[in-house]
């Protein structure tokens, strides 16, 4: 899955539709960015945009939005209820998928530097990007708001991290940084607003004051009554769902409500959420209830049901989970073909797809057959005695099969970098050196793909032995074919490593890689024989 970063810039404009729409269009028009939400407030005179992109495109989306704000927003005329000190008041970057907090910090720094230089305005770093603790919290950075900014910029302690240390009346200043994903979450209470607020005070981190802190960290909350639902709610912001996850908040509300003889009637997520937060909830209930669930879609469904996320409105995963909203069909032209089409493509008068793609396909078929037999054994009454072995085996082989399938296409595209190097000019010594370096890097990339196939396949053997030993005996031949297919897939990938290795100049890389691949190939032959021996004894 690609890297996904969420950006939530807040602009000091909530009334002029032309400006609001112009900023939205700037984000929407940035290639690689997906605008998810635009939330404007008349009284706050503020609009919050939510969009996602990767580590490069998200910077461009934020820059495009800032450029519009620089032209169209004049902070000297701005009044609103929400705290603010800049046209683009705050611009946090949030890790969503396959991205670290450190990467988001670097993204925020790059954005601040580029925007400050181009727009000529001051930028402050806050939260995880802050270099000094006293600048970490947004309220501290924004203290005194726009009206105090001119004098504050004269204080050396508040010199901007990027941009001029001078007051720009039309802009003010911007705070940018990196933080965890904030989840807006409400739990429904069949009670009064006072009772819901009482629960919120017990749970939120601030509690009832410094002398009476709440139970849960990184939680802000209160209680209110929603007329349209005819229910009260404990409404919270989960500032870090790794510290206080959704399911923990829900279970604590249930516990507090029970002490007040109140019923909990489900919950709702306001806005969107990362997939991980729901998978965490599912894993909690799977462990708590001793369930056996391995498919992602079923885990999401379990989380939705246990948290009652359909209680006030339908929870549609494709509209609420970030990764599903921005999902694109995988670029797997070979793996997406019909079986006939794939075989015919291999037989065509072209060098790719070839043995590498075929090897990955065979390895995937090998683990898939093991997965099939385990699934056909699991849950059958007469095989209840081996249920633990099957429940352990199924997730491993299921995920390995999913991981091996992309290797079919990855192998075909593995030579792109090498071919790019081959086409480089070679007239001068410098050009020859650059060409050789590019070709060598390309060969290493080409080796890494079949090596990845080998590594994945290698992790299947112990589990395949378990399936051979405890699986449905009627499926004996399926496991036999699976073992031979996996062995052949690993052997084929090994041959692809060998053929590319002969031109590698890096002797250290060659020695280390050959030692690993030879060990995997040797173990593959031994483990295949072991699986077949187990089956022959049945």
Q: Which residues are catalytic?
A: 82, 411
Phi, psi values for residue 206, rounded to 5° = -70, -20
The two structure tokens encoding residue 163? 């941009």
With a CB cutoff of 8 Å and minimum separation 6, the contacts of 329 are none
- How far is the first Cα of the chain from the last one, in angstroms, to the nearest whole number? 41
The two structure tokens encoding residue 253? 């509300």
Altogether, the residues listed in the chain come to a count of 538
DSSP state string for 421-486: HHTS--SSHHHHHHHHHHHHHHHHHHHHHHHHHHHHHHTTHHHHHHHHHHS-GGGHHHHHHHHHHH
3-state secondary structure of 522: helix
With a CB cutoff of 8 Å and minimum separation 6, the contacts of 20 are 13, 14, 38, 40, 47
Q: Give the position of tokens 């790794």.
A: 242
With a CB cutoff of 8 Å and minimum separation 6, the contacts of 537 are none
Phi, psi values for residue 22, rounded to 5° = -65, -40
CA neighbor of 512 nearest in space, from 449, 444, 466 = 444
């Amino acid at each position: 899955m690609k890297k996904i970063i969420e950006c939530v810039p807040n602009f000091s404009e909530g009334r002029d539709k032309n400006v609001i729409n112009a900023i939205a269009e700037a984000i929407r028009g940035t290639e690689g960015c997906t605008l998810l939400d635009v939330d404007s407030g008349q009284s706050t005179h503020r609009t919050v945009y939510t969009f996602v992109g990767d580590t490069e495109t998200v910077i461009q989306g934020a820059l495009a939005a800032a450029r519009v704000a620089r032209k169209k927003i004049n902070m000297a005329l701005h009044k609103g209820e929400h705290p603010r000190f800049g046209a683009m008041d705050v611009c946090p970057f949030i890790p969503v998928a396959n991205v670290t907090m450190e990467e988001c910090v670097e993204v925020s720094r790059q954005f601040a530097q580029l925007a400050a230089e181009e727009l000529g305005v001051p930028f402050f770093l806050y939260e995880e990007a802050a270099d000094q603790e006293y600048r970490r919290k947004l309220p501290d950075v924004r203290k005194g708001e726009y009206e105090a900014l001119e004098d504050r910029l004269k204080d050396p302690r508040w010199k901007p991290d990027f941009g001029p240390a001078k007051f720009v009346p039309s802009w003010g200043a911007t705070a940018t940084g990196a933080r965890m994903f904030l989840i807006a979450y409400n739990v429904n209470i069949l009670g009064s607003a006072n009772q819901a607020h009482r629960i919120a005070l017990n749970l939120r981190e601030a509690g009832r004051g410094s002398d009476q802190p709440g139970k849960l960290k990184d939680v802000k909350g209160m209680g209110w009554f929603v007329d349209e639902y005819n229910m009260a709610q404990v409404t919270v912001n989960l500032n870090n769902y790794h510290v206080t996850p959704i399911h923990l908040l829900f279970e604590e509300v249930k516990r507090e409500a029970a002490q007040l003889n109140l019923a909990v009637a489900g919950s709702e997520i306001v806005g969107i959420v990362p997939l991980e937060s729901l998978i965490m909830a599912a894993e909690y209930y799977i462990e708590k209830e001793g369930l056996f669930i391995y498919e992602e879609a079923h885990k999401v469904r379990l989380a939705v049901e246990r948290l009652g996320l359909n209680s006030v409105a339908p929870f549609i995963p494709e509209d609420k989970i970030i990764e599903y909203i921005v999902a694109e069909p995988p670029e797997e032209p070979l793996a997406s073909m019909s079986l006939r089409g794939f075989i015919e493509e291999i037989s065509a008068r072209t060098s790719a797809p070839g043995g590498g793609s075929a090897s990955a396909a065979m390895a995937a078929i090998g683990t898939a057959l093991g997965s099939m037999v385990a699934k056909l054994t699991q849950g059958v009454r007469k095989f209840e005695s081996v249920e633990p072995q099957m429940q352990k085996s199924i997730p491993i082989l299921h995920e390995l099969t999913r991981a091996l399938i992309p290797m079919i296409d990855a192998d075909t595209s593995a030579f792109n970098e090498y071919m790019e190097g081959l086409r480089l000019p070679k007239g001068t010594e410098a050009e020859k050196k650059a060409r050789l370096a590019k070709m060598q890097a390309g060969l290493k990339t080409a080796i890494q793909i079949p090596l990845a196939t080998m590594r994945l396949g290698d992790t299947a053997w112990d589990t395949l032995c378990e399936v051979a030993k405890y699986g449905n005996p009627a499926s004996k031949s399926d496991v036999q074919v699976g073992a031979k297919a996996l062995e052949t897939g690993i052997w084929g990938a090994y041959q692809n490593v060998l053929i590319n290795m002969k031109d590698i100049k890096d002797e250290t890389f060659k020695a280390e890689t050959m030692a690993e691949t030879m060990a995997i190939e040797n173990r593959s032959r031994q483990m295949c024989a072991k699986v077949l021996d187990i089956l022959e004894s049945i």
